[in-house]
Amino acid sequence: MIQYKSEAEIEAIKESALILAKAHGEVAKNIVPGVKTLTLDKIAEEYILDHKASPSFKNYNGFPASLCISTNENVVHGFPSGYELKDGDIISIDCGVYFNGFHSDSAYTYPVGNVKEEVLQLLKVTKTSLYKGIESAVYGNWTGDIGYAVQSYVEEFGYGVVRELVGHGVGRNLHEEPEIPNYGKRGKGKKLKEGLVIAIEPMINLGTKNIVQESDGWTIRTADKRPSAHFEHMVAIFEDRTEILTSHQYIEENYKF
């Protein structure tokens, strides 16, 4: 069942999302060649705990960290390790915050140092596809309109749209109904009504859309081991507008590409 939110609940989600946005900003300052991904996780976790919130992902179904950190061919659900970022990598940082009874969830993919032009384009196109999806997330539209907007844009570039992992409702639970696929048909799926709060999160592959799960039980990577990008925002649907609840502002103040 879809849990529609009141304006007061959406205001509470925005408080959670502000802590999340600033935690991302702290991580962004430290994305440089040579940094260990474990260090990034520690920075985010400390920031979240210092603001009387808790990391949504830690221990979620047994997940071992505060951030999902997925480099290069890893699509999502990777976790931090002693791996040191190197020039030419890309790194997806997905973070969730629980505060005041509500979760917030957003993700960003960064180039590390000098990244190949075709990979940089993947990042730019995937980020733009998120905003194409958001433009279609308006009152009276359908979840299929969001998926169609993302898919039709990125497929022009020959990219693969991951099918098995999708966006979702967010609220008192990290993952709620409805599912928000990054592919689909206009006018299909669930209707977007007042009070719907969803995470839209394109996961776009440079090559094949197919994915496999690594033997660590978490990390999802592309089947052809070519790079994958992931950007995520949460939005709230109102009859007269759609509001983006999460923010990449603190990332982009510190990190330009």
Residues 153-182 interacting with Mg ion (rule: CB under 5 A)? none
Which one, 43 or 93, has the nearer CB to Mg ion?
93
Q: Is position 105 an interface residue for Mg ion (rule: CB under 5 A)?
A: yes
Q: Distances from the Cα of 123 to the Cαs of 21, 115, 159, 230, 257, in angstroms?
A: 19, 10, 11, 8, 9
User: Could you tell me if 63 and 96 are in contact, meaning their C-beta atoms sit under 8 angstroms apart?
Assistant: no
Which one, 61 or 158, has the nearer CB to Mg ion?
61
Among 26, 89, 94, 176, binds Mg ion (CB under 5 A): 94
CB of 142 to Mg ion, least distance (A): 20
Backbone angles phi and psi of 164, in degrees to 5: -75, -20
CB of 232 to Mg ion, least distance (A): 5
User: Could you tell me if 139 and 238 are in contact, meaning their C-beta atoms sit under 8 angstroms apart?
Assistant: yes
Please state, as a whole number, how many other Cβ atoms lie within 10 Å of the Cβ of residue 4.
14
User: How many residues lie near Mg ion (CB under 5 A)?
Assistant: 5
Does an H or E element contain 67, and which? strand 67-71
Residue 139 structure tokens? 């009152």
User: Interface with Mg ion by CB under 5 A: which range of 57-65, 101-109, 149-157, 179-187?
Assistant: 101-109
CB of 166 to Mg ion, least distance (A): 9
CB of 192 to Mg ion, least distance (A): 17
Nearest to 21 by CA among 252, 257, 237: 252
User: Could you tell me if 144 and 188 are in contact, meaning their C-beta atoms sit under 8 angstroms apart?
Assistant: yes
CB of 28 to Mg ion, least distance (A): 16
Mask for 206-235, x = binds Mg ion (CB under 5 A): --------------------------x---
Q: Is position 89 an interface residue for Mg ion (rule: CB under 5 A)?
A: no
Identify the DSSP state of 211.
Answer: E
Mask for 187-206, x = binds Mg ion (CB under 5 A): ------------x-------
Q: Is position 107 an interface residue for Mg ion (rule: CB under 5 A)?
A: yes
CB of 199 to Mg ion, least distance (A): 4
Q: Is position 27 an interface residue for Mg ion (rule: CB under 5 A)?
A: no
Amino acid at residue number 237: I
**Strands of the sheet with 167-169, listed across from one edge:** 176-180, 167-169, 197-200, 233-237, 242-244
- Reduced to 3 DSSP states, what percent helix, strand and coil does the chain have, rounded to the nearest 5? 30, 25, 45
CB of 197 to Mg ion, least distance (A): 12
Which one, 45 or 105, has the nearer CB to Mg ion?
105
**Strands of the sheet with 160-161, listed across from one edge:** 160-161, 203-205, 228-230
Report the interface residues with Mg ion, using CB under 5 A. Answer: 94, 105, 107, 199, 232
